[in-house]
Amino acid sequence: MYTTCMFCQRSLGANEVVETFPVGRRLAFDAARGRLWVVCRSCERWNLTPLEERWEAVEACEKLFRETRTRMSSENVGLARHPEGLELVRIGKPLRAEFAAWRYGDQFGRRRRQSIVRWSVTGVGLAGGVAVAGVAGGAVGALLAFEGANWVSLLNYVRPSIRFRPEDGLLRRMSRSGVRETRIRPTDDDTLFRVQALPQRFDITKAAEWFEGEDALRVLRAALPTLNALGGKARMVEAAVSEISERGHAHAFLQQIAVRSEDYLRQGAPGSLVRMPDPVRLALEMSLHEEDERRALEGELWRLERAWREAEEIAAIADRLLLPDAAIDKSDLC
């Protein structure tokens, strides 16, 4: 049983309400499909729980949801707040737009609020610093303070603070300025697309690199949160969901996004992520989340099929033990 978020590595918290699963302060569950997520209260990402840990917990969540009086429900999604502080999100048969509003609304909304607060604090601090410097040193002091703030902002812009590690094991670093040069293009093979990344823009020893397959997904997972730093309001989230819905599902959207890359030009080069409309970029980040979950679920199906086959073999052997030797076809034992 994991206790930290698989995305931001922060603690998921604990609860004393679900005895079989005492992790998390917000749990989302789909009883019909047997799925349970722990929603991280730091980054608002949904962590799908391992198969063996969820069955009893889903039943407990369903029972708690029905017993909790403080709750809101629509046709497809419900939210209940237990007196002990645990929040339960119950998924019925949600339409994609409604489910996405619950799943991504908090995440992108919080990101937007944090950006507004950060820029506001920076602006107030800059104005205060310039004012103090102006009082102390006159116009020259104010000018120096203003230039100093600009240099700090520039250093943060080019500092290699974004990292990812491809399959070759070598850590790559990108700056916020370098991330803006990230491009996506189609490939001629079975991979979804290829992605060009520019590590450490002002390091002349590092050239732009192309990544495919799993490495391309790693680049996007690292770059998109920075490019989507302003998050989005509910209307923008709905527009992003529409982008995915037009393709039917997230995997199809990922397959098509590189084909549309000719529409997004930056300095004459196609496939620029920063030139994508905001809803398209948000939809790309959403699709990566859902693609990760799809793969996890496919892995579970493989485990279930293997367990079923093992159970069938054991059952067949048990059935033979009840039959006389003369009734057993010897070829079945080969």
Which tokens hold the place of 234? Answer: 């509910």
Q: What is the pLDDT along the chain (334 residues), one digit of tens a residue?
A: 678 988 888 999 999 999 999 999 999 998 888 889 998 888 888 888 887 778 899 999 999 988 887 667 666 788 888 888 899 988 876 555 666 666 777 778 777 676 665 555 555 554 554 444 444 555 555 455 445 555 556 676 677 788 899 999 888 888 888 899 999 999 888 788 999 998 764 554 567 899 999 999 999 999 999 999 888 888 888 899 888 888 888 888 988 898 899 999 998 899 999 999 999 999 999 899 888 877 776 675 565 566 556 666 666 665 566 555 555 455 444 4
- Give the three-class secondary structure for 47: strand
Contact 302, 296 (CB under 8 A): no
Q: Please tell me the distance from the alpha carbon of residue 198 to that of residue 182, in angstroms, as a whole number.
A: 7
For residue 284, which amino acid is it? L
pTM for this prediction: 0.66
Which tokens hold the place of 109? Answer: 């909304």
Contact 182, 223 (CB under 8 A): yes
Say what the pLDDT of residue 44 is: 83
Say what the pLDDT of residue 227 is: 92
Say what the pLDDT of residue 333 is: 44
Say what the pLDDT of residue 334 is: 47
Say what the pLDDT of residue 75 is: 65
Closest Cα to residue 91, out of 101, 212, 211? 101
Q: Pairing relation of β-strands 35-39 and 46-48?
A: antiparallel
Q: Please tell me the distance from the alpha carbon of residue 42 to that of residue 107, in angstroms, as a whole number.
A: 9
Closest Cα to residue 27, out of 61, 53, 56, 50? 61
